[in-house]
Structure 1
Amino acid sequence: MDLRLHEQAGDVTLQHGARVFDPWRLEWAEATPRPGGVEVTPEAALAALSAARKLRGVPVAVIGPREAGAEELRLAEAVGAGLARCGLVLLCGGKNGAMEAACRGAQRQGGLTIGLLPDEEWPAANDHVMVPLATGIGPARNAILARAAVALIAVGGAYGTISEMALAMQFNRLVLALPPAPEVPGVVRCPTPEDALRRVAMHLLRMS
């Protein structure tokens, strides 16, 4: 893949061949190739750009059921933690179950968590939501979440999760699903959280 990170005088740039990445606009531009640099994975590239405060905080959504089983909770927490390690912002529905597990994983890794609540007041958010946004519109908030996220990762669920996945597909978002999630045409199935995180990183780096 030959992604190379260059650090000089406190500045961090990411280069791929004769292109340099703009981490604020999430775009590549032509540039003169620079020798050296450190080869990095897509995930490590995002983490380095975020640590240098150059990466824009675009949200990645984690969706799943309120009544989540043990495996769904484990996967959601792993995905949340991985997003935080990549320096990405986690967006979710702000309630309990898989949403709370994802927020807990992200918060423990120092990540930013945003909850887009169906309720009328912010205290309805779970304790790991750092930015609770009360919409007061009930399940209709699923459409806002699907539109606001640059990518969605489903870790289980039923009708609510299916609606978010379907809406996101209509909005041309990248939608990924781990094994417990429902089957939805066009959604990319991922065997592990690590595979899902790598696909998100490649999507944000415009490499997929």
Structure 2
Amino acid sequence: MKDSRKTRSAGPLTYRGDAIPATTTDQRLLESRGPADWVHTDPWRVLRIQSEFVEGFGLLSEVGHAVSVFGSARSKPGTPHYELSQEIGGKLATSGYTVITGGGPGLMEAANRGAQEAGGTSIGLGIELPFEQSLNDHIDIGVTFRYFFVRKTMFVKYSQAFVVLPGGFGTMDELFEAITLVQTGKVTRFPVVLVGSRFWKGLRDWIRDSLLEEGTISPDDPDLMHLTDDADEVVDIIRKSHVDLARREFEAGRVADEAADLQAAERASDS
């Protein structure tokens, strides 16, 4: 019989009912410094943070090519965005990509479900939240993190692309973090695909009409985000981006080899 009590996951721990803490681990870290004795206690939190990195790296180190899919936790099954997210998850899986989501309900669940039903690997990276939320039922491999910044590192480190469906603040947070990393050259293999032209149109227009017009971003920056409504095009954009990157890396390597050969020949002639 299914336990109907509220549930919260916090890293490897699961709390139910009255045992659920009043605050989350992140909240306790960030909210206040507390009494002076925390000066001696806070450094030990580094070990917990370190353990989360170790758990995440160990879990994901062999997933292969992967794509993270983000979107609202509030979208219901049967809605157009849910069905589109499920289709995208399935097409990514059949194209050889592992699908990674935040592990929650809504559009995250839909992408995990599509990947799993297509025979692919479905991964969920959950987060401890003040309200109850557990990993969805369509995940093959899952972990619940205590700290947002550790979880974010896992999304970026082990994904080769982001697919961003309509969502709220959490989705926007992941989107702009990814765009910032691409813009600053911290990641170079990272297409970012926005799905839902009607939903994203206002944001795209604001970026062009306000940020670009004010000169706060470079002229090419708006093109860092691809926009589509088609699941097949999502996969095509990601594949093409990775093929182009592989070609550039190959050409750069060839140029480096030719330069090394030229330098060796010059040294030989000088001697």
Does TM, normalized by the shorter one, top 0.5?
A: yes
Whole-Å Cα distance in 2 between the matches of residues 176 and 137 of structure 1? 26
Asked if the contact 1:168/1:174 (under 8 Å) is kept, the reply is no
For 1:67, the equivalent position in structure 2 comes to: 74
Mark the CA change 1:181 to 1:99 in structure 2 (over 3 Å): closer, same or farther: farther
**Structure 1 residue aligned with 2:85, among 59, 66, 76?**
76
Residue segments in structure 2 that go unaligned for 5+ positions in a row: 1-62, 183-189, 205-221, 248-271
For 2:102, the equivalent position in structure 1 comes to: 93
For 1:53, the equivalent position in structure 2 comes to: none
Asked if the contact 1:91/1:114 (under 8 Å) is kept, the reply is yes
TM-score, normalised via structure 2 length = 0.51
Q: Which residue identity lines up with residue 206 of structure 1 in the other structure? A: D
Whole-Å Cα distance in 1 between the matches of residues 83 and 199 of structure 2? 13
Deviation at 1:201, TM superposition (A): 1.4
Asked if the contact 1:114/1:131 (under 8 Å) is kept, the reply is yes
Whole-Å Cα distance in 2 between the matches of residues 115 and 199 of structure 1? 23
State yes or no: 1:189 paired with 2:227: yes
Does the residue aligned with 1:62 lie in a helix, a strand or coil? strand
Aligned positions of 1:160-175 closer than 5 A: 160-172=170-182, 173-175=190-192
Mark the CA change 1:139 to 1:96 in structure 2 (over 3 Å): closer, same or farther: farther
Deviation at 1:138, TM superposition (A): 4.5
Deviation at 1:139, TM superposition (A): 7.5
Q: CA RMSD in A?
A: 2.4
Q: Which residue identity lines up with residue 188 of structure 1 in the other structure? A: H
Whole-Å Cα distance in 2 between the matches of residues 202 and 187 of structure 1? 14
Does the residue aligned with 2:75 lie in a helix, a strand or coil? coil
Q: Runs of at least 4 residues of structure 1 off by over 6 A?
A: none
**Structure 1 residue aligned with 2:194, among 177, 189, 200?**
177
Asked if the contact 1:118/1:137 (under 8 Å) is kept, the reply is yes
Asked if the contact 2:178/2:192 (under 8 Å) is kept, the reply is yes
Whole-Å Cα distance in 2 between the matches of residues 72 and 146 of structure 1? 24
Whole-Å Cα distance in 2 between the matches of residues 190 and 63 of structure 1? 15
TM-score, normalised via structure 1 length = 0.65
Q: Which residue identity lines up with residue 177 of structure 1 in the other structure? A: L
Deviation at 1:147, TM superposition (A): 4.3
Deviation at 1:148, TM superposition (A): 3.2
For 2:244, the equivalent position in structure 1 comes to: 206
Greater C-alpha Rg = 2
Mark the CA change 1:144 to 1:170 in structure 2 (over 3 Å): closer, same or farther: farther
Deviation at 1:206, TM superposition (A): 2.8
State yes or no: 1:141 paired with 2:151: yes
Question: Which piece of structure 1 moves more, 130-139 or 95-104?
Answer: 130-139
Per-residue deviation, residues 130-185 of structure 1 (Å, max 9, x unmatched): 11022112486345424432101112102111111111112223110111554354
Question: Which piece of structure 1 moves more, 106-115 or 137-146?
Answer: 137-146
For 2:140, the equivalent position in structure 1 comes to: 130
More helix by share: 2
Asked if the contact 2:65/2:96 (under 8 Å) is kept, the reply is no
